[in-house]
Amino acid sequence: MLEDVREALRSVVAIPVTPFDDTGVFDEAAYAAVLTRLVTAGVTALTPNGNTSEFYSLTPDELARTVAVTVEIAGDTATVIVGVGHDADRAAALARDAEAAGAQAVMVHQPVHPYQSPEGWLDYHRAVAEAVPDLGVVCYVRSPMVTAATLTTLADACPNVVGIKYAVPDAIGFATLAAAVDRLTWVCGLAETWAPFFWIGGAEGFTSGLVSIAPELSLELLARLREGDLGSAMELWRLLKPIEDLRARHDNANNVSVVKEALAQLGLCGRAVRPPISELPGNERAEVTEILRSLRVPARTS
């Protein structure tokens, strides 16, 4: 199963939003529709409870339901890589829950403690990996504090650690780490914006929230990178950059809101988000409409 997880990471790893209805309740039907659209389009890796899923805003019951629905929709078609996190004990418990629900892997969120050491980072991830020795484990690296030596030690101690979702905006640092720890499968964790640059440095896949909006375009970017047609890949990158720039606006505060706004305009789910983020104002909603037109994904609702 671990090799299957590695193979799934060599793709577009979708991080779906978690839709809410008008009363703020998890909209399970809309969530299933978003997932079905992804799987039907050919997406083979799904990460429920990621950051774009508003992981830190979901209740324990909602975290469990998103996993259950994702496993059901994925079936034998897509690999489910569940986001887990919070304190080490809770992250390990969520990993065990994911295993019991039928997931094939977990993605360990960056620790949110304000004080961290390399040794503490290692202990945190080892606690999760040891809790589910039969599941694939992907580490979500968002800090340059994590070194090749730390990752090598973790991989030696926990053979089920199979991949790294690297989200430090440093292409040279990424390439250096990927070359130093080549036993792991490396994924660009900064989505389409950084995918071509990390690809050159050793990434074999990339994560995406945009894929929920225009799955065929994210998959086409992957195809062009695999073919080695960097000129064509960069042409598509330029087409996709405006929506990724809008998501990154206000220090990434728009990350989820833009995706949900686009999906709302496509009639797929509501635009509601939970604090500490907020819905887009009118002028940025209009920007989403224009971007959808440029992507040839016309809005159906206002």
Closest CA to 140 of 58, 63, 65, 207: 207
Q: What digits encode the pLDDT tens for the residues 51-97?
A: 999 999 999 999 999 999 999 999 999 999 999 999 999 999 999 99
DSSP string, 125-192: HHHHHHH-TTSEEEEEE--TT--HHHHHHHHHH-TTEEEEEE--S-HHHHHHHHHHTTTSEEEETTHH
Q: What is the DSSP letter of 279?
A: P
> Do residues 106 and 70 touch, judged by C-beta distance below 8 A?
no
d(CA 297, CA 221): 16
pLDDT value for 302: 46
pLDDT value for 177: 97
Beta bridge partner(s), residue 136 = 105
Compute CA 53 distance to the chain's CA centroid, rounded to the nearest angstrom.
8
If you average pLDDT over residues 277-302, what whole number do you get?
89
d(CA 206, CA 231): 18
Q: What digits encode the pLDDT tens for the residues 241-264?
A: 999 999 999 999 999 999 999 999
d(CA 83, CA 95): 8
When pLDDT is cut at 50, 70 and 90, the band that residue 300 belongs to is low
Instruction: Report whether the peptide linkage leading into residue 276 is cis, meaning its omega lies within 30 degrees of zero.
Output: yes
Angle between helix axes 28-41 and 60-74 (nearest 10 degrees) is 40
When pLDDT is cut at 50, 70 and 90, the band that residue 1 belongs to is confident
Q: What digits encode the pLDDT tens for the residues 187-211?
A: 999 999 999 999 999 999 999 999 9
> Do residues 132 and 162 touch, judged by C-beta distance below 8 A?
no
Give the residue carrying structure tokens 């978690």: 18
If you average pLDDT over residues 227-247, what whole number do you get?
97
Closest CA to 17 of 56, 53, 48: 53
In this structure, the chain runs to a length of 302
pLDDT value for 127: 98
Q: What digits encode the pLDDT tens for the residues 145-171?
A: 999 999 999 999 999 999 999 999 999
Q: What digits encode the pLDDT tens for the residues 5-48?
A: 999 999 999 999 999 999 999 999 999 999 999 999 999 999 99
Closest CA to 184 of 208, 206, 165: 165
301 pLDDT more than 70: no
d(CA 90, CA 103): 17
